[in-house]
Amino acid sequence: MSRITPCLWFDNEAEEAARFYTGIFKNSRILEVTRYFEAGREIHGREPGSVMTVEFELEGQRFTALNGGPVFKFNEAISLQVDVGTQEELDYYWNRLGEGGDPEAQQCGWLKDRYGLSWQIVPRRLIEMIKDADKVRADRVMAAMLQMRKLDIAALEAAYAG
């Protein structure tokens, strides 16, 4: 078990979001749901018995989803990266995570899901190409990537090849 668990702040959608995410990633599960108590109601303002947190796991990474109210919203300062090997995998995660999200926020392999959380769907091959010692080739790949919304591995490979 990791010592660091990202906590995702939602208004009231923690359980819905956890179910959405665990429905997308193959090796995933809901671990535990905790509920608000009467104690602290004057602070949290939540109905006793309503969902407070949802502990869940995506591909071995634990997360906590918190129903904390409308005070905070997600922004691009934090994103979750999904490492993919094929265009088929890339398309799957892009399409599933993007369902109901903001199409205007899609660029360079980044998307926002229906809850406003940013995701990067990153092919391993892209990382290999931009780390290439041949800076001309790496630069062509970067220039091609910057023109894309959803990444196209074949087009990135073509840019790499020149």
CATH number at residue 140: 3.10.180.10
Residues 138, 94, single domain; the answer is: yes
Residues 47, 110, single domain; the answer is: no
CA distance 93 to 84: 9
What is this structure's pTM?
A: 0.93
Structure tokens at 157: 């490979």
Does residue 73 sit within a domain? no
CA 148 vs. chain centroid, Å, equals 18
Residues 96, 155, single domain; the answer is: yes
pLDDT digits (tens, 9 = 90+) for 114-156: 999 999 999 999 999 999 999 999 999 999 999 999 999 999 9
Host domain of residue 108: 79-161
pLDDT digits (tens, 9 = 90+) for 63-86: 999 999 999 999 999 999 999 999
pLDDT at 1 over 70: no
- pLDDT for 123 equals 98
- pLDDT for 40 equals 82
Residues 56, 85, single domain; the answer is: no
Q: Answer for the pair 105, 136: CB distance below 8 angstroms, yes or no.
A: no
Q: Which of 67, 88, 103 is the last residue of a domain?
A: 67
- Please state, in angstroms and as integers, the Cα–Cα distance from residue 158 to each residue in 38, 127, 136, following that order: 60, 15, 13
Q: Say how many residues make up the chain.
A: 162
pLDDT digits (tens, 9 = 90+) for 22-64: 999 999 999 999 999 989 888 888 899 999 999 999 999 999 9
Number of independent structural domains in the chain = 2
Return the half-sphere exposure (C-beta side, CA atoms, 13 A cut-off) of residue 7: 8
Does residue 135 sit within a domain? yes
